[in-house]
Amino acid sequence: GAGVSQSPSNKVTEKGKDVELRCDPISGHTALYWYRQSLGQGLEFLIYFQGNSAPDKSGLPSDRFSAERTGGSVSTLTIQRTQQEDSAVYLCASRLKTLNTEAFFGQGTRLTVV
């Protein structure tokens, strides 16, 4: 596709359930980022993938959060045993490898834990 695609757009889940959020980056982009944005707040870095390098997981808030990127393309962010404080918009972005390039963002997944 022409842009970064995230699915689903919205997800309502019950507390304690597991959820998977998907990100399809722009073809050819080697860098992929996940961010969390709570209502009206800034972007909290979660995890960063760059090519075949080990991901930078330094932003994951707990061991309930994990992410993988298969074949250097699609990424899935998994949240296990969801809690109400996990409610937020989860944004994915992709970028070419070079330092000065623009990061392109998807529309995000709004997760609501009830």
Partner 1 sequence: AQTVTQSQPEMSVQEAETVTLSCTYDTSESNYYLFWYKQPPSRQMILVIRQEAYKQQNATENRFSVNFQKAAKSFSLKISDSQLGDTAMYFCAESQGAQKLVFGQGTRLTINP
Residue 75 to residue 95: CA distance in whole angstroms: 14
By CB under 8 A, tell whether 97 contacts partner 1: yes
Residue 39 to residue 107: CA distance in whole angstroms: 15
33 contacts 105 by C-beta, under 8 angstroms: no
> Quick one: which of 35, 65, 75, 111 contacts partner 1 (CB under 8 A)?
35
**Cβ count within 10 A of residue 62:** 10
Question: What is the per-residue binding string for partner 1 in 42-81, x denoting contact by CB under 8 A?
Answer: xx-x--x-x-----x-------------------------
Kindly list the residues in this chain that would bind partner 1 in the complex (CB under 8 A): 31, 33, 35, 40-43, 45, 48, 50, 56, 89, 91, 93, 95, 97, 99-100, 102-103, 105, 107-108
